[in-house]
Amino acid sequence: MPLEFLRRKGGDPSGSKGAAPAAPPPQPVPEEAVAEDHQLRLNYGAKTSNGVRLQGGPNVLAALPRMLDGLAISDIEVIQPRETTLTIASPSIIRTQEAAEWLHAHGDASPVSRHALYVLELLDAIDLTYDTFAGAMLDGDVDPAGYPEYSAIVGGVAAHWDESTGDLIVRAVVGWGGRGARGDTDRTANRLLGRMLANILESSGSLGLTAVDRPGAVPGGPSVTCQHCGYPNVHPRAVYCPKCGMRMLHA
Ligand SMILES: [Zn+2]
């Protein structure tokens, strides 16, 4: 290709390379930057019912999925309490150690279950260090990847063992939310919570509603470790472990 042609294409008809473009006039420095705003509002909600006391026994946990009869619109998945060695598990992506533990515990759960655990743990509605959770989609739709939309409601029943009697304490739990909100979600969630509570109360072995505080020792106070499952936060006077339901052996 002839050299002349290349020069002309460079846009310099004189052929010289030295002519610098004229410097632009100096701009005044602005006192404030012109900002482009970025914002994301996330909105999550959850509701939990009173506890229902169920006669303790070896088979009572197996009854949890049946308490979602007529309410679940997806497969029901039972999530066991986390291994005691996972002490700081949390669904927080920037806290990598916490996130790694959480994924180790729940990474194989379904998208619906992971969404449910994320919302319910974020809002402190359940505690997977000792709760067993049986959950499913209860209302709304999933996106093409299988994750619940913000307007969907997930939930189920969360259970732990009563530390003084060894009964199983079961609560109805619902949660929802994400990038958006709908006006009627709260009302729908209340209705679902009520129907699930009725299911729990009608299940066999139900001894009725009970007022039970969260199990475990007072934070910062004395606690003992379960000899059976290693759960470290058992109340010093507990007769049963809230996580595994076994009788405590006090020295
Ligand atoms: Zn235990």
Q: What is the pLDDT of residues 176-192, one digit of tens each?
A: 999 988 899 999 999 99
In a domain, residue 1? The reply is no
DSSP assignment string, 100-144: HHHHHHHTTS-HHHHHHHHHHHHTTS--TTT-EEEEEEEES-B-T
CA of 131 to the centre of ligand 1 (A): 12
CA of 200 to the centre of ligand 1 (A): 24
CA of 140 to the centre of ligand 1 (A): 37
CA of 185 to the centre of ligand 1 (A): 37
H-state helical runs in the chain: 3-9, 96-106, 111-122, 185-202
CA of 206 to the centre of ligand 1 (A): 23
CA of 162 to the centre of ligand 1 (A): 12
If phi > 0 it is left, if psi is from -120 to 50 it is alpha, else beta; for residue 217 that is: beta
pTM for this entry: 0.86
Q: Which residue has the higher pLDDT, 116 or 28?
A: 116
The per-residue pLDDT of the chain, averaged, comes to 91
Q: pLDDT tens digits, residue range 67-99?
A: 999 999 999 999 999 999 999 999 999 999 999
C-alpha span between 164 and 181 (Å, rounded)? 41
pLDDT band for 27, please (50, 70, 90 cuts).
confident
pLDDT band for 212, please (50, 70, 90 cuts).
confident
Q: Which residue has the higher pLDDT, 218 or 89?
A: 89
Q: Which long-range contacts (CB under 8 A, 24 or more apart) does 35-40 make?
A: 40/179
Mean pLDDT of 116-134: 97
CA of 123 to the centre of ligand 1 (A): 25
CA of 160 to the centre of ligand 1 (A): 11
In a domain, residue 124? The reply is yes
Amino acid at 19: A
Angle, CA of 24, 28 and 32, to the nearest 5° = 130
CA of 84 to the centre of ligand 1 (A): 9
Mean pLDDT of 149-158: 97
Is 13 a residue whose pLDDT tops 60? no
85, HSE (Cβ side, Cα atoms, 13 Å): 3
In a domain, residue 28? The reply is no
CA of 245 to the centre of ligand 1 (A): 6
pLDDT of the residue at 18: 58
Amino acid at 237: R
CA of 137 to the centre of ligand 1 (A): 30
pLDDT of the residue at 9: 52
In a domain, residue 82? The reply is yes
Domain interval for residue 68:
43-210
In a domain, residue 135? The reply is yes
In a domain, residue 32? The reply is no
Strands (E), the chain: 43-54, 77-79, 132-139, 153-161, 168-178, 206-210
Question: The tokens of 19 are what?
Answer: 């002519």
Domain count, the chain: 1
How many helices (H) and strands (E) in the chain?
A: 4, 6
CA of 247 to the centre of ligand 1 (A): 8
